[in-house]
Amino acid sequence: MSFLSNLFKFGSQNMAIDLGTANTLVYVQDQGIILNEPSVVAIETINGVKRVKAVGDDAKMMMGKTPDTIEAIRPLRDGVIADIEIAEEMIKHFIRKVHGKRNLFRYPEIVICVPSGSTSVEKRAIRDAASNAGASEVHLILEPMAAAIGADMPVTEPVGSMVVDIGGGTTEVAVLSLRGLAYTTSVRTGGDKMDEAIVSYVRRHHNLLIGDATAERIKKDYGIAVVPEDGIGETITLKGRDLVNGVPKEITINQAHVAEALSEPIGAIVEGVRIALENTAPELAADIVDQGIVLTGGGALIRRLDEHLREETGLPVSIAEDPLTCVAIGTGRAMEDPIYRGVLMTA
């Protein structure tokens, strides 16, 4: 049996997958990141039979614009698998896309990162999805650890360092030392909650209903953590459906409104950081005063968030070099580099 499995493994490229709520990134051994697509699957139902119509970028385009027969689904919610069958199809599609059609017999080893707050059932769901998608071995790595490795933090040394990874579904706050997590907390607030906050703010104050895609665009282009100095900032034009008259309508809001809308989810993230700092051992806390806090994940790109955290905690806060790909790069390094092998686990 081992001969056969070795035969199948021969020539297959090992992969590291950052299975995110918003985007999935695939890192291939010795090649780096070669796939970065939204975690969306479009399912088409014809005569009661469901089949996958599109995955990734193509499916993201369909979000909120599908006819009755097509449904665009995000199989991950809050960083964990909500729909295992569709998640499996998505992982299969991405593996096939990376390996190409020719490698029918290839069974790669796969490392997948999971949120630190996931239960053993959730971890098993991720492992099973990858196994069924054609992995010979599946290892898991905790998301904050992967983010810290990707951000070049000294995780193997006896020095405390703190990482805040703001993803689509969750924000992971962790204190790391000696290849392990000294303390970790997972706040179920991330990019999705920020989008929802913008939607509900516009609905409450302007009686306008906007879609998630519009809210996400506002967050990416104009999202700011504190009210701009002049109290207004840039002005933004929004299109949506007027709830009073029921007709499409266009309004303008400014960045101060966006800051107000985002204050609640950002407050939850700050609270998570505070709780982590309160529960940190004194020696590690002393190291964090020197090392500071590193922000990774897409949420780190929100303007002046580092400034806001600096004011709230009084600690130095920096943003990782490439926050969006940090976790995928860290997962890949953990797979390639024997120094980090100790951080991988099996479900």
Residues making up the annotated binding site for ATP are 21-23, 168-170, 216-219, 298-301
**Residues of each annotated binding site:** 21-23, 168-170, 216-219, 298-301
Q: What is the DSSP letter of 124?
A: H
Q: Are 146 and 331 in contact (CB under 8 A)?
A: yes
**Nearest CA to 8 among 130, 101, 139, 136?**
136
**Nearest CA to 266 among 312, 235, 203?**
312
Q: Are 70 and 41 in contact (CB under 8 A)?
A: no
Q: Are 164 and 293 in contact (CB under 8 A)?
A: yes
Q: Are 332 and 344 in contact (CB under 8 A)?
A: no
From the number of C-beta atoms within 10 Å of its C-beta (0-12, 13-18, 19+), residue 159 rates as middle
* Strand 109-114 to 235-242 pairing: unpaired
| 54 three-class SS | strand
Q: Are 210 and 240 in contact (CB under 8 A)?
A: yes
* Dihedral angle sign, alpha carbons of residues 142, 194, 298, 212: positive
Question: How far is 185 from 72, CA to CA, in rounded Å?
Answer: 31
Secondary-structure percent of the chain, ordered helix, strand, coil, rounded to 5: 40, 30, 30
**Nearest CA to 190 among 267, 87, 78?**
78
Phi, psi of 212 (to 5 degrees): -60, -35
